[in-house]
Amino acid sequence: MRTDFTKLVRAAAARLVKPLGALLLAVVAALPLLAQAQTAVAAGDTVLIVGDSLSAEYGLKRGTGWVPLLEKQLAGEKKNVRVINASISGDTTSGGRSRLPALLAQHKPTVVVIELGGNDALRGLPLDMTEANLRAMTQAAKKIGAKVLLLGMQVPPNYGGAYGATFSGLFAKVARAEKAALLPFFLKGVADVDDAVGNFQADRIHPNEQSQAKMLANVWPDLKKLLK
């Protein structure tokens, strides 16, 4: 009787092992596909934006700035891109330069957008320092394999022709030297039009909500070229 019971147990175990073995084989066979799927997700771009109040939604309702609009556009186009907005109102190129190494290490971006320099000019900081900071930031990003897009800025005419030309020219100078992408003037169509006052908040420094789509339209063609 004990022998019969043993046979029954062995037969039941054999019937159980077969489907479990088939299931295990199926899981093993699927592992390469799962790995490929994970790799596909990981292969998407990470765009790190290091800027000042123009990119930090200063004075705007959250979600209405050009960076959130960029995220919405990327989602609408089904692009596998993660956007990290590390912009801080009032930041200068010196502040961005000091913050960048940690940001690069944390986020490992594939594209870095540098939108800094305006506050350097407003504070009358030495332009050679601004240029050196932009160059150092660009080099640091390139060192980890990231592509760089510089967003150029201009200053009002009351700063003087020589200062204004030197300031706007330093972005192109850095871009040429470091082989980085360049948007010559971030606020084109916003600050250089006849009715520019209507494009800004009451302080006449920060673009209003209605101008954010234009700012994105300025950035998008150059940024799109850097994405996979």
Q: Point out the residues that are catalytic.
A: 53, 203, 206
3-class secondary structure for 162-186? HHHHHHHHHHHHHHHHHCCEEECCC
From the DSSP assignment, how many helices (H) and strands (E) are in the chain? 7, 5
For residues 134 and 79, give the distance between their C-alpha atoms in angstroms, rounded to a whole number.
29
The one-letter amino acid code at 35 reads: A
List, as one string, the DSSP characters of 73-141.
HHHHTT--EEEEE---TT--HHHHHHHHHHHHHHH--SEEEEE--HHHHHTT--HHHHHHHHHHHHHHH
Residues in the chain: 228
Phi, psi values for residue 111, rounded to 5°: -135, 135
Nearest Cα to Cα of residue 114 among 137, 94, 98, 131: 137
